[in-house]
Structure formats: C-alpha cells, structure tokens
Amino acid sequence: MRTLGLIGGTGWVSTIEYYRLINEFTNERLGGLNAAQLIIYSVNYADIEKMYQRNDTFSIMATMKHIALKLQAAEVDGILLCANTLHRFAEDVQQALKIPLVHIGEATASEIKKADLNKVGLLGTKYTMELDFYQNKLAESGIETLTPDADDRAFIHQCISEELLKNQFLPDSKKRFLAIIDQLVSQGAQGIVLGCTEIPLLIKPEDVSIPVFNTTEIHAKAAVNFALD
C-alpha cells in the first residue's frame, strides 16, 4: 500500500469527508481491519483566504508547494490537494515534486467519460467557475462546460465561503442551488459537477434529475486506486 499525503483544511469540513471516504474505499478493497496509510497537513484556511483577498496567488502557490514538499520529505508516495480551487496550482506543485499529484480534474473527467457525457454544468467557487484551469482539464477529454450566470456564480461563491466552509447547510441555499442546476439543465447540461468539495454535503444525487459528479468522492476513490493498484 502506498502512503497518501493530503493537503487539507481548505476547508476542514470536506477534509473530514476525504478521511472517511479514503478509509472506507480502502476497506472495501482490502476488507478486515484494513485502512489507508496517510498523512494530513491541515492548513488554517483563514490564512489562505487573506491571500485571496489581496489577490496574492503567488503566496498561495508557494504555500501549497512548501506543504507538498514537507509531505514528500515525510515519505508519502502521492499528494492530494483536497480542494478543487487549489488545482489552479496543481501543475506548479507537481513540478516541484518527485512524486505524483493525484489530480481531481483528471479523475472527474474520467468519470464523466465513463458516463458517456460530453456537456456538464460546473458549480464551485468563483475561481473554479470563472478561471479556465478546470474547464481546460475537462476539455482535454472532450467535455464542454457550462457555468451559471454572474449573479448565480456570486451566490454560490458566497454560500461556500459564508456557509459551507463553516459546516452550515441551509434549506434556502439548497433550494437556490437546485434552481441554478435546473437552469443549467435547460441549457443542455447532461450532468452536474459539484466542483467544490463541500457542495456534495449540501446537494445529493437524489436531489437532481441528471447525473451528479461528487468530486470529493471521485478524488478519494482515485487516491485509493493510486495507493492500492
């Protein structure tokens, strides 16, 4: 079994899900009392948010590199950035490492292709929805991405920051999310990518009439496959 290094705390709510899912998937594969070998480096997200507020993306990237190198020095075999948004720095982090980074976008694209879909709606932070790093990763697999309009993107980002990252999951917010998803479906979305690792705690597959791609679960399963295969 390979040892996984998780960069978590972005936020802590979904990091708990990563820990649970990786251990559950490992036990499903191996049975008995088997669980994952992993090291979690959990950051103080308030520090990262301050960097975002002053648009200091260089410092965020440098922080992720620094932590990844610490985990590499601790002799992990692969790295996970436990947030979709932080994958805007995935290539920079990977270049600093001698070990693989398990990419959430690549794993998600693979699952979308398995479902034989080529057009999906993407929900996430404003950075994930508005920058091209995530959409380009899906496009490499021939997947077209739809995003909500500006007002809805602003709502989603605010909800993530002010509610989901604080472990708050409110019925009115869920209702708005579902209305946004319905709008994306009307525009031709064949599936919905829950491209923030906290969103799957609010929106469940049974809430939506088309396939939903839980990126936390997808990433965790890809990590276990890396660790065990």
Q: Where are the alpha helices (DSSP H) in the chain?
A: 12-30, 45-53, 57-73, 90-96, 104-114, 126-130, 133-139, 150-162, 171-186, 215-228
pLDDT digits (tens, 9 = 90+) for 155-189: 999 999 999 999 999 999 999 999 999 999 999 99
Question: What is the model's pLDDT at position 47?
Answer: 96
Which strands form 38-42's sheet, in the order they lie side by side? 38-42, 4-8, 78-81
Q: What is the pLDDT of residue 102?
A: 98
% of the chain at pLDDT higher than 70: 100
Could you check whether 4-104+218-228 and 105-214 share the same CATH topology? yes
Note the pTM of the prediction, 2 decimals. Answer: 0.95
The CATH number of domain 105-214, selected from 3.40.50.1860, 3.40.50.2300, 3.50.50.60, 1.20.120.80: 3.40.50.1860
The mean pLDDT of the chain is: 97
- The domain locations on the chain are 4-104+218-228, 105-214
pLDDT at 215: 97
Q: What is the pLDDT of residue 173?
A: 97
Q: CA-to-CA distance for 4 and 65, rounded, in angstroms?
A: 16
What is the sign, positive or negative, of the torsion defined by CA atoms of 158, 205, 122, 18? positive
| pLDDT computed for residue 116 by the predictor | 97
CATH number, domain 4-104+218-228? 3.40.50.1860
Burial tier of 116 (Cβ tally within 10 Å: 0-12, 13-18, 19+): exposed
Query: CA separation (Å) from 137 to 6, 69, 142, 183, 218?
Result: 21, 24, 9, 23, 15
What pLDDT, on the 0 to 100 scale, is given for residue 212? 98
pLDDT (tens digit per residue) in 93-151:
999 999 999 999 999 999 999 999 999 999 999 999 999 999 999 999 999 999 999 99
Q: Each residue of 34-54: pLDDT tens digit?
A: 999 999 999 999 999 999 999
